[in-house]
Structure 1
Amino acid sequence: MEARISLITLGVRDMARATAFYESLGLARAEGPDGVVAFDLLGQTLGLFDLEKLAEDIGVPVDSLGHGGLTLAHNVPSRAEVDALMRLAEDAGATVLKPPQEVFWGGYHGYFADPEGHIWEIAHNPFSPLRSTDGAFRWQGYPGD
């Protein structure tokens, strides 16, 4: 298996609300098949899919999907951008779970839940600088960049 994730699919109960939320964060909607809303990211795609249909596709009861202990992280180049993106998410309907603050490992981050309860971390990690050409993230950064 290659070390990458191609598609992250979030099961949602209210497709219109979830779509509007991610569009209000500035994500550009890509064309997709009926029933799927896709947003192209840097090297991946974020997909929204009806929760009931997702459970049916997997072949499990919808109650078994839950939310679990998964978080999605979005890294930004500065503390100020953490603050700005957290405000943008809250204005768009997110619930702030942890306001932006310094963290024990030396970075700065906050957490919010989207309108469907999916948890996002917005972080600035000074030990993993983003690639200067495109903002890509890699653990411990890009040496020589």
Structure 2
Amino acid sequence: MSLLTLGVRDLARSVRFYEQGLGLPRMPSPPEVAFFTLNGTWLGLYGRQAMAEEADVADDGGGFAGFTIAHNVHSEQEVDQVLAQAEAAGATMVKPGHRAHWGGYLGYFSDPDGFLWEVAHNPEFWVGPEDN
């Protein structure tokens, strides 16, 4: 996967959330879309209605989309830091950091458009290039 694009209701609000709130590095892009560099991939933001029209699907936004976006970090403390940073940036805390049944530590927040993010520390999971 090289790019994950989220259809958002308010592009400017979402850009502020991801760029200023979460500190993701923004790439140069046309005004109708925003791209951010992630660890090995990109995140794109695009107007939800325009994305639905482009895909020829309904823009009803109903219910759980059936997926979460996951961010794996190096420690339990970092899970709590990322959750707090997201909440300070305008995210809704869904489930605070807690011990998972599988031995790790995780919590959930939703971004301004309701996309569900999992922030986790799994000591057995590769996090990024610096762990090679």
TM-score w.r.t. the length of structure 1 is 0.84
The answer as to 2:52 corresponding to 1:55 is yes
Q: Select the residue among 69, 77, 92 that pairs with 2:74.
A: 77
Whole-Å separation in 2 of the counterparts to 1:88 and 1:34 = 26
Partner residue, 1:18: 14
Whole-Å separation in 2 of the counterparts to 1:17 and 1:34 = 13
Identity %: 49
Question: Partner of 2:106: helix, strand, or coil?
Answer: strand
Larger RCO (CA under 8 A, 6+ residues apart)? 2
Report the Cα offset of residue 134 of structure 1. 2.7
- Counterpart code for 1:84: Q
Between 69-78 and 56-65, report the one with greater CA deviation.
56-65
Deviations along 1:93-132, whole A, 9 cap, x unmatched?
000100000000000000000011000000000111435x
Deviations along 1:22-42, whole A, 9 cap, x unmatched?
012110110123311000112
Q: Select the residue among 89, 92, 96 that pairs with 1:95.
A: 92
Question: Partner of 2:15: helix, strand, or coil?
Answer: helix
The answer as to 2:120 corresponding to 1:123 is yes
Q: Tell me, which stretches of 5 or more residues in structure 1 are unaligned?
A: 136-144
Indicate the structure (1 or 2) with the bigger Cα radius of gyration. 1
Partner residue, 1:139: none
Q: Which runs of 4+ in 1 moved over 4 A?
A: 64-67
Change (3 A) 1:78 1:103: same
TM-score w.r.t. the length of structure 2 is 0.92
